[in-house]
Amino acid sequence: MFIATFPEAKAWKLTTLCLVILLGSHDSFSFYIDEASPVGPEQPETVQNFVSVFGTVAKKLMRKWLATQTMNFTGQLGAGIRYFDLRISTKPRDPDNELYFAHGLFSAKVNEGLEEINAFLTDHHKEVVFLDFNHFYGMQKYHHEKLVQMLKDIYGNKMCPAIFAQEVSLKYLWEKDYQVLVFYHSPVALEVPFLWPGQMMPAPWANTTDPEKLIQFLQASITERRKKGSFFISQVVLTPKASTVVKGVASGLRETITERALPAMMQWVRTQKPGESGINIVTADFVELGDFISTVIKLNYVFDEGEANT
């Protein structure tokens, strides 16, 4: 639970949430990849051609590299995940103009995922989630309007209007019965009060398969974070190159990269701290692996209360 990540001290309820450490998942929706779906519009021509030639076999292999989570939204919420990385797409030649989560191939309908998260929030009135809509594919103005209306219909008054990040504490959210912060990486955010501009949730991407380079990148990013005056994501995520995929084509992301690199990545996580000079939101693939969740939660207990209230 979100509340379980914080010590019982009263000061924690007053601490702004950009100064504590929160758990997040990378490509949060990818626990379900529809192998029967077409390839996503963001995929390069080489991938499109690969699938057109090899069909279902190609998609089964793709799924091994596209799925970065195994737990559904309810499972992730129950484990303590409070930040969700969401990528939205229209489906080619879809007469219903539905919106889907997408990562190479299509996932579930967006409304189904958002309703699943809302069911958890309705049962846990003091829990708070961050929904980060950071990639949009094949979306026109109409589709954005549809997504905004969907958010209104599902979350209503649970959504916290955009304010200064430094003002967002548990006390503030609880007093106003807010449970959802929606970040929207599109100019549309400037037109809708409950959409937080994407620049208030920066997520630097290392784009490497090398754990050592990833750690160097993460550490350098922390140095830069306080210049932004926002929430901040540390993506403890390795990204496969084409050559990596070819070598481990039948094994997949989890076995080929994530599990092997986990010890080095966790060693870095254990040395981190919250506060002005620390990390904020930590995202990972396959968040249930090892002791990622329990380790991140424990980091909040070393928070110096003097720093928490600065």
Do residues 25 and 81 touch, judged by C-beta distance below 8 A? Answer: yes
Q: How many residues does the chain have?
A: 310
CA distance 158 to 180: 6
Backbone angles phi, psi at 131, to 5 degrees: -110, 115
β-strand pairing of 22-25 with 83-90: parallel
Structure tokens at 223: 């140095």
Distance from chain centroid for Cα 13: 23
Backbone angles phi, psi at 125, to 5 degrees: -65, -20
- Catalytic site includes residue 185: no
Among all chains, which residue has been given the structure tokens 């793709």?
62
As annotated, the active-site residues are: 26, 103
